[in-house]
Amino acid sequence: MSSYAILLGRQRHVFDDLKTLMAAASPEKSGDRLAGIAADTNERRVAARYLLADIPLKTFLEEPLIPYEIDEVTRLILDGHDAAAFSPVAHMTVGQFRDWLLSYECTTGALSALAPGLTPEMVAAVSKIMRNHDLIVVAAKTSVVTGFRTTIGLKGRLSSRLQPNHPTDDPEGVAGSTLDGLTYGVGDAVIGINPAGDNLEACIRLMELFDRLRQRFDIPMQSCVLTHVTTSIKAVEAGAPLDLVFQSIAGTEAANRGFGVDLNVLREGREAALSLKRGTVGDNVMYLETGQGSALSADAHHGVDEQTIEARAYAVARHLKPLIVNTVVGFIGPEYLYDAKQIIRAGLEDHFCGKLLGVPMGVDVCYTNHAEADQDDMDNLMFLLASAGVNFLIAVPGADDVMLNYQSLSYHDIVSLRHSFGRPPAPEFEAWLYRMGLFDSEGRLAPQASSDARRLIDYRASA
Amino acid sequence: MSNPIDLDPFARFRAVTRARIGLGRAGDSLPIRAVLDFQLAHARARDAVHGHVDFAGMAERIGATQPVIRLKSRATDRPTYLARPDLGRRVDPAAVAGVERGDWDVAFVIADGLSAAAVEAHAEIVLSACLRRLGDLKVAPIVLGEQARVAFGDEVGEALGARIVVVLIGERPGLSVPDSLGAYLTFAPKVDRRDSERNCLSNIHADGLTHELAADKIAWLIRQALRLGLTGVDLKEDMTGTIALTSAP
């Protein structure tokens, strides 16, 4: 392992190894400071970036930040690396790679072909020397399209997760939030609920609730109960109408163990959902969530900065061919992302890194009440992500999640972004919205509820 | 013309959910009333996080009947407290050296946590309700912890030599409830106890767990923990036991 040094004026900056350099080059994050690996001066951060810019991309194949022997995520990354796909950029340094990403030669097609040749460490490294501008314009060139009953990630579309959480999973309460969201055209990525309890029977009841609603109104949609993968496997065995298998994942084997999963059980979850063959336009059956800081909070980060660990989670994700993946960017709290500046930066980094690796990336634009952020900051991030071509965003009624006690986007925000950017929902779902009279002839929310829309709002979940 | 029921087709859901549904819209956006209602709730939650507990006044009131010790964590201010949970879990070293070890069954710590409003509204009432139920136990001086997290109680309990520590602490505020108190019980407290070694009661507030029921549960958990010699995942809260205790004199 080599150390890295640079002389800036009269100050010599030395970094013991590659992971120390990566951490020091990272934009300011409270989590890296908490871990004791952040640059202690602003100059040292930029010194690290000069050095990082000159490191060959190949180095990340030769010097794993977390040893191959002790971590199955490292093994997945290195064993699965596609050298042929990597070859167009194999001679580049991190800095040259950044310039190439911004160049005219770097097209959507080139990025799609390159994705299997990139590792999380490469994309994390290049993101650290990219400004927010760069993260947005390069991500906007990527295209990652997936499908189940709707097609998500098509150019010029913006999808959304409808999140009808309720503190006690009361079926009518859940239905109220769901029906409200559908009238705003939200839910084309997934109707996904975080269940209040993790027990199998309660989860199956929710799956049945959404499946009845789907069939009653012939909605091209998929639902997901965000329970542990092992519970979803049991639900499949019990014959429940499960569309997608959910799991929170992280970028190290130890952090995944903290979530009670490993690669094997994740693959089993995927196989279980595939066995049901419930998809109509595609067979992407996984929904995964991530977030910077989760490995640190599980004391499973191996001294690697939180953004690089997050990018490694996307290697786990892409292995599972998911329908949708999102970072829950502001949920974890101020000890990992202190304020809106850090949350916004992390949201753009996560979206960029995921997309470059070929992951169908969305974002939960969100914050907790002890972070230095508010709804104005979420407005900023949602517009930036829409510019960056995000596949989907999460929305809850009035931006207030009454079960998880944090704030996300509102249904209104999704409508507003779609109109501001001219990006309608997934085509199958959009057609349904027109059929139901929920959209007017211009794709706007219909001013007067049609009789079909009225039937939807009057739907009784418990009937 | 629409009839009055049509004006709020979501009325039937409002009894079963606090979710902000059926808000209406101004163009694509939220109507002004909904925007301001949200801002008010967020403002209250922020004020709860950044508010100060009047520990001096609290020390005076509790001190009238109980010995009180005031301690600070290693987090010197609120921004440090929020960014560095490790510092909020440890006691200021100069102060902890002055804590006298004793032979105590239980120690109570009142910690500000993430909601000053919760501590101001509920902590003293829950404490005295607990003390009424524990007259036969040796209770350590009441500790008031400033800029303190749950694990702060581990070091305090260890220094006091208490067999069990109960931390009453302000929970992270949501928009609907800015003043929710939590109670965390840890047997044989010492630095670096894991969260799986604790029992927790949360949602003590006006629309949640009442002060008296919370005290019933805390007292029941204390007695069970002392009897079994543990807290955590192996100690399940049992409502039957709680009810039996409530009906006792």
Please give the average per-residue pLDDT across A215-236, as a whole number.
97
Q: ipTM value of the model?
A: 0.95
pLDDT tens for residues A95-122?
999 999 999 999 999 999 999 999 999 9
Low-confidence ranges of chain B (pLDDT < 70): 1-7, 237-249
Residue by residue, DSSP assigns A100-129 as HHHSTT--HHHHHHHGGG--HHHHHHHHHT
Q: Which pTM does this prediction carry?
A: 0.93
> What CA–CA distance (Å, rounded) separates A109 from A141?
9
Tell the burial category of A154 from Cβ atoms under 10 Å away from its Cβ (0-12, 13-18, 19+): middle
Q: State the smallest CA–CA distance between residue B114 and chain A in angstroms.
A: 7
> Is the model more confident about A329 or about B234?
A329
CB contact under 8 A, A172 and B13: yes
pLDDT tens for residues A76-101?
999 999 999 999 999 999 999 999 99
Residues in chain B: 249
Write out chain A residues lying below 8 Å of B45, CB-based.
Answer: 369
**Quick check: is B22 in a domain?**
no
Structure token digits, residue A375: 């709804």
**Quick check: is B198 in a domain?**
yes
CB contact under 8 A, B28 and A416: yes
Name residues 18-47 of chain B within 8 A of A (Cβ): 18-23, 25, 28-30, 34, 38-39, 41-42, 45-46
Give the residue on A whose Cα is nearest the Cα of B114.
A370
CB contact under 8 A, B19 and A177: yes
What sign for the dihedral angle of Cα A168, A173, A175, A180?
negative
**Quick check: is B38 in a domain?**
no
pLDDT surpassing 60 at residue A378: yes
Q: Do residues B145 and B110 lie in contact, with contact meaning Cβ atoms separated by under 8 Å?
A: yes
pLDDT tens for residues A263-315?
999 999 999 999 999 999 999 999 999 999 999 988 899 999 999 999 999 99
Q: Give me the numbers of helices (H) and strands (E) for chain A, helices first please.
A: 22, 15
CB contact under 8 A, A164 and B38: no
Please give the average per-residue pLDDT across A126-143, as a whole number.
98
pLDDT tens for residues B13-26?
999 999 999 999 99
Classified as helix, coil or strand, A439 is strand
pLDDT tens for residues A404-438?
999 999 999 999 999 999 999 999 999 999 999 99
> What CA–CA distance (Å, rounded) separates A4 from A151?
46
In order of their start, the domains of chain A are 4-139 (1.10.220.70), 146-453 (3.20.20.70)
| pLDDT for A461 | 87
- Provide the domain count of chain B: 1
- Structural domain range at position B216: 50-247
Q: Do residues A68 and A78 lie in contact, with contact meaning Cβ atoms separated by under 8 Å?
A: yes
**Quick check: is B107 in a domain?**
yes
**Quick check: is B40 in a domain?**
no
Nearest CB among A170, A369, A458 relative to B49 is that of: A369
Give the residue on A whose Cα is nearest the Cα of B115.
A370
CB contact under 8 A, B28 and A419: yes
Kindly state whether B226 is in contact with chain A, defined as any CB-CB distance less than 8 angstroms: no
**Quick check: is B8 in a domain?**
no
> Is the model more confident about B196 or about A255?
A255
| pLDDT for B128 | 97
CB contact under 8 A, B29 and A375: no
| pLDDT for B101 | 96
| pLDDT for A398 | 98
> Is the model more confident about A196 or about A342?
A342
Write out chain B residues lying below 8 Å of A397, CB-based.
Answer: 19-21, 23
**Quick check: is B196 in a domain?**
yes
| pLDDT for A463 | 65
**Residue linked to tokens 């009670």:** A260
| pLDDT for B247 | 31
| pLDDT for B235 | 83
| pLDDT for A449 | 75
pLDDT surpassing 70 at residue A153: yes
| pLDDT for B240 | 46
Q: State the smallest CA–CA distance between residue B70 and chain A in angstroms.
A: 25
> What CA–CA distance (Å, rounded) separates B229 from B224?
8
Q: Do residues A291 and A337 lie in contact, with contact meaning Cβ atoms separated by under 8 Å?
A: no
CB contact under 8 A, A405 and B173: yes
**Quick check: is B90 in a domain?**
yes
Q: State the smallest CA–CA distance between residue A113 and chain B in angstroms.
A: 38
Structure token digits, residue A185: 């055209």
Q: What is the CATH number of the domain that holds B213?
A: 3.40.50.11240
